Structure 1
Amino acid sequence: MTEQRTIMFAGSPLNRLSWLRTSHSFLNSILASPKSRWLLFKSGNPLTTKSEGKSILAYLSTKDVGPFIGQAPHFGQGKELGLLASEEQITATEGVRHRGSPIVFLGLHENTSSGSGALPSSEFVDAEKAVAKLEGVPYFAMDVADLEMEEPAIEAALKESEPAKAGTTLTWLDARSVMTNANLFDGSIFAEGRSMVDWNTRNRFCPGCGSRQHSLWGGWKLGCSTLMPWADKAGRKPCPSGKGLHNFTHPRSDPVVIMLAVDETGEKILMGQNNRFKGQFYSALAGFIEPGETFEDAVKREMWEEAGVKAWDVQYHSGQPWPFPASLMCGFYARADSTQPVRIDLDNELADARWFTREEIMSVLNHATGSYLDLAKLAEASSQLNKDASEPPFRVPPTTAIAGVLIKDWAEGKVQFPPFSLNSTGPKGNL
């Protein structure tokens, strides 16, 4: 395999300070820091601004988002408005936010040039003094669509923010367009923020008993309202989420395998055209891992179900967080026999699947509009070309998506696959 490199949405630079998420004194203190910056979403679409003609993420201060985050305390909220929960270590109230829209503490971008690192939890007895010692920028995220605010009120509040007053135009951008403009730093913060606010939004009710849930641990855990110290439990059975560990109370990432089959010569790859995409767009095959499977099992199953191809020698390449809403794309190569027929009639997910030569792939990668996912960007790029310029025979994903990385790395020879011979029972020789 090739040396792994950071792909869009991966490589987060933040120290997530996970050991401090249970401390509402820490969370409240770092939220109040003038250094803190906020990434806002509206139904999963991020707030952005323009820079050199490109849409980039807009980061607001805690003062700017004041109308959205409500009255203090923001974490460790007690039964009554404006009061903190008990300072006792009660699991149900650790960094609790049961009033207002969920807020997610993403982490701290540390100033590593000073040589200092994040302070341990033992030094946060006095949270305000400890936070003052932290060098760097804390990041938070929230989704304003969850607020009990009308659209005009949201827009009016944004116009009162410091960037807007300084003449900066703030707009909501389609989430999938971020990957065409963002740098790796912004892409990773966006991925973490979008997945987390989406998880908080989607899980409003307890899977154990159906009661309302609330946010804990700075947005990283959900708790059943029946477990709160002041909840009325008369006549109710105890919620099963109150004992043991339950994966529905913690954020999850859904693993997906995405893979290219390389033929016996090492000079062809198998790609498919999904029924959901119009036009000549081909990509790697992909699918969710099912219970009772390894990554290798899933690669082989998906290859067979989608294209009728028997695969072996599965090799990992790299991974990519995919915040739509919360997948982990795990990229693989596998070997397969291109002399066998390709079938798309098993699960009928693909409109077409076929083998492509290295020359065919390189001709597309070298074409001005050969690799695009964003249709608006594709139209923009196409309009800038000479009207007589030819269209590529097909298109592939860009390298901001792991499928594009897998395709490009193979085409450019960054990963090597030696040829092997076949016999009646399958591959022969070393793989």
Structure 2
Amino acid sequence: MKLDKRNLVFLLLFAVAWDGMNSKAGLKYVAVTDHGSPVRGEDRSLHLARRYSIYSPYRKTVFYLSIFSSPSPPPNSLMPAQPDLPQAAPELLDSMLTRKFGPEVHNYFSGSPLNRLSFLRHDRAFLAAALTHPSTAFVAVDDLAPAARDASNLAYVSHADLSAVIGENPFVKTEEETIAAYNSTVRSPLILFLGLNDTRHEGFEYKAYKGVPYFAVDITPKGSNEEAAKGVIETLKAKNMIFLQGRSAMTLNAADAAIFAQARALLDWNARNPFCSGCGQPTLSVSAGTKRVCPTTDLAPGAAARGPCATRVGVSNLSFPRTDPTVIMAVISHDGSKVLLGRQKRWPADWFSTLAGFCEPAESVEEAVRREVWEESGVKVGRVVVHSSQPWPYPANLMIGAIGQAVKGGEEINLEHDPELEQARWFDLETVRVALKTGTSGLDDAPGEGRKEGDLRLPGKTAIANQLLQAVCVGGFLGGETKI
């Protein structure tokens, strides 16, 4: 239902009536979808569209009406299926910042339901108890591919399912004891503490913290754990679990995608950093998978003495996971009528996206946007506004989405600076609007059957590029009606 004036009046009257029916409950906040149905508690995690103050004749007081965007099928039913995006928590909606700047944008791979409790990663009593608790959920990962029930849902397994790989509880030892017992010939299982789902209070409790603990365990067959890992993998497959390879994990539901993103980024970082960048010796994972240390000794038979290492003195960025900031931007023409898109040679025909690139040292986000756009396309950008961000676990990027505007006279395209792009083009907004309705998909997915041959193709909604294009072409950037 379109929110025109007539329908809005209907919704306001409906809300007042709904308020009257609920007056005994003391309801002071009414939420409805844009279809007019009431929204309660947990269902308010939808994107806020409008918020109104209404006088209630039943209580002779002012209450609030919030109209939420309700889920609807894609305009073209033949579009490839794409997972839903994370939804805003209720406390993010009733906010002066939301009323001023519009609803917070939530991108795929964000919105984890877990409280990371990072300050407890050194608490061995907490970790040891959480690891073996009956309620604990485990994400089993084989060569960065997570176990799943199907393409949309991770398979959360129990400690018993992975006990052959986990072995004795590694968290009963202190970090100092673990480092002192280091033996480079013994492959300890890589176990990551992901966090606590503290919206579920049943089961585990430690001090002031209650909820369901989540861990990720690397069950990749290699080293001294190879046979045990193979056995675990076969057992899980016998229970009809599958392992989502490569980017196929981008079909997961929003919550599972966020949990997997955290697990994948940490597992990949551990796998890529088996040796110390300070002295070249093998390193050991500690702090529940979030830190690597260079042990002072190696108990392996015949191991050479380990010399001094700078990473053992003070805090070092060589020992902690890295996150690489990346800018990705929707650039509009100076008059706001067109948007700049580019394509690489390896992409499917007619497939374009927004420009992107890595931030460089001592460079602001705004400067990175201007530099990358000029280097890749020759277009000169003036004003830049940050829109939203997206964690991207391939391998460990933070995509910082921005919207930029070309300066007057700076819209000429020149691909001779940096040959990264095969093509860069200005597209009128209506062309992009049509593509957002009928032509979005993943790089490896076929476009929808309703798309006409030769029409523009764009990234699906799991990509922040899609969100940026929605903001500038469909409207609503910063929560208001914009010129574009």
Please classify the TM superposition score into its range, dividing by the shorter chain length.
0.7 to 0.9
Is contact 2:220–2:229 with CA below 8 Å preserved after alignment? no
Answering whether residue 160 of structure 2 is matched by residue 63 of structure 1, we say yes
Higher relative contact order at CA 8 Å, sep ≥6: structure 1 or structure 2? Answer: 1
Amino acid at match of 2:126: F
Residue 283 of structure 2 corresponds to 213
Task: Rate the CA distance shift 1:41–1:266 in 2: closer, same or farther, 3 A.
Answer: same
Answering whether residue 188 of structure 2 is matched by residue 100 of structure 1, we say yes
Residue 442 of structure 2 corresponds to 373
SS in 2 for 1:7: coil
How much has 1:203 moved relative to structure 2? 0.6
Mapping of residues 172-183 of structure 1, within 5 Å = 172-179=243-250, 181-183=251-253
Mapping of residues 37-48 of structure 1, within 5 Å = 37-48=137-148
Structure 1 unaligned residues grouped into runs of 5+: 77-83, 124-132, 420-431
How much has 1:327 moved relative to structure 2? 0.3
1:361 to 432, 441, 458: 432
> Structure 1: how far apart are the matches of 2:483 and 2:103?
18
1:255 to 305, 325, 331: 325
How much has 1:73 moved relative to structure 2? 2.9
Is contact 2:165–2:228 with CA below 8 Å preserved after alignment? no
> Structure 1: how far apart are the matches of 2:300 and 2:222?
24
Residue 136 of structure 1 corresponds to 211
Residue 406 of structure 1 corresponds to 468
SS in 1 for 2:470: helix
1:4 to 95, 98, 104: 104
Is contact 2:117–2:196 with CA below 8 Å preserved after alignment? yes
Amino acid at match of 1:106: L
> Structure 2: how far apart are the matches of 1:61 and 1:214?
25
Task: Rate the CA distance shift 1:59–1:93 in 2: closer, same or farther, 3 A.
Answer: farther
Is contact 2:270–2:285 with CA below 8 Å preserved after alignment? yes
How much has 1:275 moved relative to structure 2? 2.7
Identity, % of aligned positions: 35
Answering whether residue 366 of structure 2 is matched by residue 296 of structure 1, we say yes
How much has 1:148 moved relative to structure 2? 3.0
How much has 1:150 moved relative to structure 2? 8.7
Task: Rate the CA distance shift 1:293–1:93 in 2: closer, same or farther, 3 A.
Answer: farther
Is contact 2:142–2:219 with CA below 8 Å preserved after alignment? yes
Residue 31 of structure 1 corresponds to 131
> Structure 2: how far apart are the matches of 1:148 and 1:325?
23
Answering whether residue 241 of structure 2 is matched by residue 170 of structure 1, we say yes
Task: Rate the CA distance shift 1:19–1:409 in 2: closer, same or farther, 3 A.
Answer: same
Is contact 1:92–1:228 with CA below 8 Å preserved after alignment? no
> Structure 2: how far apart are the matches of 1:149 and 1:352?
50
Amino acid at match of 2:435: V
TM-score, length-scaled by structure 2: 0.71
1:342 to 410, 413, 417: 413
CA-to-partner distance for each residue in 1:384-416, whole Å, 9 max, x for gaps?
x6xxx6235121111111011001121111126
Residue 403 of structure 2 corresponds to 333
Task: Rate the CA distance shift 1:160–1:174 in 2: closer, same or farther, 3 A.
Answer: closer
CA-to-partner distance for each residue in 1:100-153, whole Å, 9 max, x for gaps?
131110000013678x9985xxx4xxxxxxxxx853211111222264379886
Amino acid at match of 2:321: P
Residue 424 of structure 1 corresponds to none
> Structure 2: how far apart are the matches of 1:95 and 1:359?
62
How much has 1:331 moved relative to structure 2? 0.2
How much has 1:276 moved relative to structure 2? 3.0
Is contact 2:379–2:406 with CA below 8 Å preserved after alignment? yes
> Structure 2: how far apart are the matches of 1:241 and 1:351?
43
> Structure 2: how far apart are the matches of 1:250 and 1:330?
21
Is contact 1:101–1:143 with CA below 8 Å preserved after alignment? yes
Answering whether residue 357 of structure 2 is matched by residue 287 of structure 1, we say yes
Task: Rate the CA distance shift 1:118–1:148 in 2: closer, same or farther, 3 A.
Answer: same
How much has 1:210 moved relative to structure 2? 0.8
Mapping of residues 135-154 of structure 1, within 5 Å = 135-145=210-220, 147-148=222-223, 154=229
Task: Rate the CA distance shift 1:236–1:154 in 2: closer, same or farther, 3 A.
Answer: closer
Residue 72 of structure 1 corresponds to 168
Is contact 1:95–1:218 with CA below 8 Å preserved after alignment? no
CA-to-partner distance for each residue in 1:227-273, whole Å, 9 max, x for gaps?
68999999654111111111111112100000111111112110101
CA-to-partner distance for each residue in 1:130-179, whole Å, 9 max, x for gaps?
xxx85321111122226437988645424445xx66xx411111231222
> Structure 2: how far apart are the matches of 1:335 and 1:269?
9
